[in-house]
Structure 1
Amino acid sequence: MKSVDHPCPACGSAEMFVFYEVRRVPVNSVLLVMSREEALNFQTGDITLAVCPVCGFISNITFDEALTQYTARYEATQGYSPTFNKFHQALAQDLIDRYDLRDKDIIEIGCDKGDFITMLCEMGQNRGVGFDPAYVPGRHPSSAAERLTFIPDFYSEKYTDYRADFICCKMTLEHIPQVGAFISTVRRSISDNHEAIVFFQIPNAQYVLCDVAFWDIYYEHCSYFTKGSLARLFRANGFEVKDLWTVYDDQYLMIEARPSDGQPAATPLPDEESVAATLQMVNYFVEHYEAKRAEWQHRLNEMESAGRKVVLWGGGSKGVAFLTTLGQSLDDIAYAVDINPIKTGTFMAGTGQEIVTPSFLQTYRPDDVVIMNPVYRDEITRDLQAMGLSPTIYTL
């Protein structure tokens, strides 16, 4: 790792340590790309991950916010997967039961197409306001429509007059570069309402580092947290951290926080990682990254040499990061499969694979399927078997 003079976006300390660099990667992974030419000429940027030795926060210090796009073309929903839907509905019910979210006012920051806040309002008879520039009206017709308001914009200081009993932010903080300023804005919006509950869900950096999951590092994700660094960020900005936990095979990290009363910071929760532990995880990633990358490169090269037909299952961010980091071309992998019908006929940013439906495989009959997320292995295996296919299956 090398030291750089770069202020930490979480705690403001002056020095960070660079440990991972990738050049010329697509700046958006899930924009709907309508032609192969557009995909192959997609705007690129650089990833330079650095860790703060004071708070343990990890940031892409070469991230340029102006390069990313969050519009109606941003298609990140996982809601076409039965596995994900089961998880999502269970999470909504758990939050409703855990925090008695019934007949309450809810804000969701980064609501995407509105599916989760819609569930919270339907299942708990709540009132909701969702913020997201990628929101598309009408995607989720709902019996709670009269109790839902969507604002197709980034949440910012100008919206701090919106008040709620429960503030939810799922899979959004990792897209925000200046995380300290952002959490400070959320705290100001709550003002003196000490009963307000704040719930965030983000990717779990421990999973990325310890599994050497280089396919989970992509341009839009400019911020990475372990339990410890996430808790320290919230405490530094006027919150009391009540709980930290992981779900979805430890891929997602959750935090419950409430406004603090101005007392000194509480003792860390038992399973918060120290900064030293985070630095050990970073070192583990550094020591094992090249071997993990070479392992996958060798495996794919062997498939190509044997003339085997290989498809990727997962036409989203993991797939884009996997292909671009390994430098895979259309000669190696011709297609990516995705169950989201809105993606059908679009192309993978950077490498140009066409995104096809699962039914396409009945004709194509691949020899090998590389699944981008192991959580979906059972679901995908069942789908393949139902189509009479029995390829060799690999998971990241």
Structure 2
Amino acid sequence: MTTSTMPDSEKTAPSAISVCPNCESGEMEAFYEVKGIPVHSVLLMPSREHAVDYPKRDLRLGFCPECGFVSNILFDPTVHEYSTSCEESQGFSPTFNAFAKDLAKRWVEEYELKDKTVLEIGCGKGEFLALMVEEGMSHGIGIDPAFVPERLDTPVASRLEFIQDLYDERYTHLKADAVCCRHTLEHISPTSEFMRKVQKTIGDQKDTILLFELPDVHRVLKEAAFWDIYYEHCSYFTTGSLARLFRKHGFDPLELMLEYDDQYIVIAGKPASGAKVPLLDGEDDLKRITEEVKAFPERFRKLKESWLEKIDGFYSAGKRTIVWGGGSKAVSFLTTLGLGEQIDFVVDINPHKHGKFIPGTGHAVRSPDTLREDKPDCVILMNPVYEKEVREQLNGMGLDPTIFPV
């Protein structure tokens, strides 16, 4: 695995996206590249051989100086196979479930959505859609090729319907009082094209509420969090670039904030009324994000060196080191650092990941219960928001390894 920053002479390769797919006017400027990374990170493999041989592509991040959007300008959507085999659910974590439930409750109450219909684009396993209906919405429609009917256990099942497919022009006829889209837009490269489909879905319904949630790239750049950069995520937003996308397509932002330890952007909007709506806090961020993009390559270089030195030290000292969290962050962390035998295995609380293997490196994903026998010395925790939850699990097994949150 190799990484690089881009010299000026290579900022627009012939095969790369040159015009920003978000504002559709700015020229993309490349600033970071990783070669040969797995094209999927929520699709775990049935064997180590499959995992190591899984298809790989190059990722090159480009920045639009006009709107602040960041994108993988080498992205190829044809390599993806979104299906019921994808395991994106975070619903086995009490920490995440509490956050999702609070968000659903707040949205339903704040935007007076009780007894109304919600359409969720990219609903995953349907857990959040069910929460919205459990909180008082009358009906929910979910669209996602990864939906698995037998996985959803909810008392409101009769008020839910699901379409196991990707959202496209065929489904713009669906009507709802709220359109929800959580952790989906970052998987879509032509973001403006996507928003035009949303516009068509809403039509002339001026009271429809848009409810979006997705990762914040400002934090990623500021912390040089390279583990949050992977092939499935082709589009990276700040609060400002997301709000600008909303306004470009005729939606006034109603709220714009960071949630979940400032990892996620939460935005709500509605069709513009014609009256001028003042900027919300967080919209005027173009200067700040430009500075973070410039600083990222050197921050990344130093952090990569630091992690490699630390992990090699554990390995040389004979310490058993594991990674906690078998999702996309782990895939990116392991592949970007080129880690192999330095990491013994990966654990995850999601039982549907157990017995599978990390694409790219081939590390096995196991249940945390296996740590009772294979006691770790060091735990690399892929998301610090779960540190309390993980520490309680470890202590409950009589274990007290050193935890290193990324």
**Alignment TM class, shorter chain as reference:** over 0.9
Aligned pair count reads 394
Which range moved further: 287-296 or 121-130? 121-130
Residue type of the alignment partner of 2:398: G
Aligned to 2:218, which of 206, 214, 228? Answer: 206
Cα drift, residue 14 of structure 1: 5.0
Would the aligned equivalents of 1:120 and 1:126 in 2 still touch at CA under 8 Å? no
Q: Distance in 1 between matches of 2:31 and 2:284?
A: 19
Residue type of the alignment partner of 1:8: C
Residue 306 (1) aligns with residue 325 (2): no
1:64-213 mapped onto 2 (5 Å cutoff): 64-213=76-225
Residue type of the alignment partner of 1:360: T
Q: Distance in 2 between matches of 1:143 and 1:383?
A: 29
Deviation string, structure 1 residues 211-269 (Cα, Å, up to 9, x no partner) = 11000000000000001100111111111111100110000001111101345x64422
Question: Unaligned 5+ residue runs, structure 2?
Answer: 1-5
In structure 1, what is the equivalent of residue 396 of structure 2?
Answer: 386
Residue type of the alignment partner of 1:99: Y
Would the aligned equivalents of 2:44 and 2:51 in 1 still touch at CA under 8 Å? no
Q: Kindly, what percent of the aligned residue pairs are identical? A: 45
Residue type of the alignment partner of 2:93: S
Q: Distance in 2 between matches of 1:125 and 1:323?
A: 41
Residue type of the alignment partner of 2:302: A
Q: Distance in 1 between matches of 2:348 and 2:132?
A: 27
- TM-score relative to the length of structure 2: 0.95
1:24-39 mapped onto 2 (5 Å cutoff): 24-39=36-51
Would the aligned equivalents of 2:26 and 2:65 in 1 still touch at CA under 8 Å? no
Cα drift, residue 271 of structure 1: 2.4
Q: Secondary structure at the match of 2:149?
A: coil
Deviation string, structure 1 residues 25-83 (Cα, Å, up to 9, x no partner) = 00001113100000010110111000001111111000100111210110010111111
In structure 2, what is the equivalent of residue 341 of structure 1?
Answer: 351
In structure 2, what is the equivalent of residue 271 of structure 1?
Answer: 282
Residue 362 (1) aligns with residue 372 (2): yes
Deviation string, structure 1 residues 161-180 (Cα, Å, up to 9, x no partner) = 11111110000000000000
Residue type of the alignment partner of 1:150: F
Cα drift, residue 125 of structure 1: 4.2
1:28-67 mapped onto 2 (5 Å cutoff): 28-67=40-79
1:314-325 mapped onto 2 (5 Å cutoff): 314-325=325-336
Cα drift, residue 270 of structure 1: 2.9
- TM-score relative to the length of structure 1: 0.97
Residue type of the alignment partner of 1:75: E
In structure 2, what is the equivalent of residue 217 of structure 1?
Answer: 229
In structure 2, what is the equivalent of residue 286 of structure 1?
Answer: 297
Q: Distance in 2 between matches of 1:145 and 1:364?
A: 40
Question: Unaligned 5+ residue runs, structure 1?
Answer: none
Q: Secondary structure at the match of 2:360?
A: coil
Cα drift, residue 286 of structure 1: 2.0
Cα drift, residue 333 of structure 1: 0.6
In structure 2, what is the equivalent of residue 243 of structure 1?
Answer: 255
Would the aligned equivalents of 2:37 and 2:231 in 1 still touch at CA under 8 Å? yes
Q: Distance in 2 between matches of 1:284 and 1:166?
A: 39
Q: Which 4+ residue blocks in structure 1 deviate beyond 4 angstroms? A: none
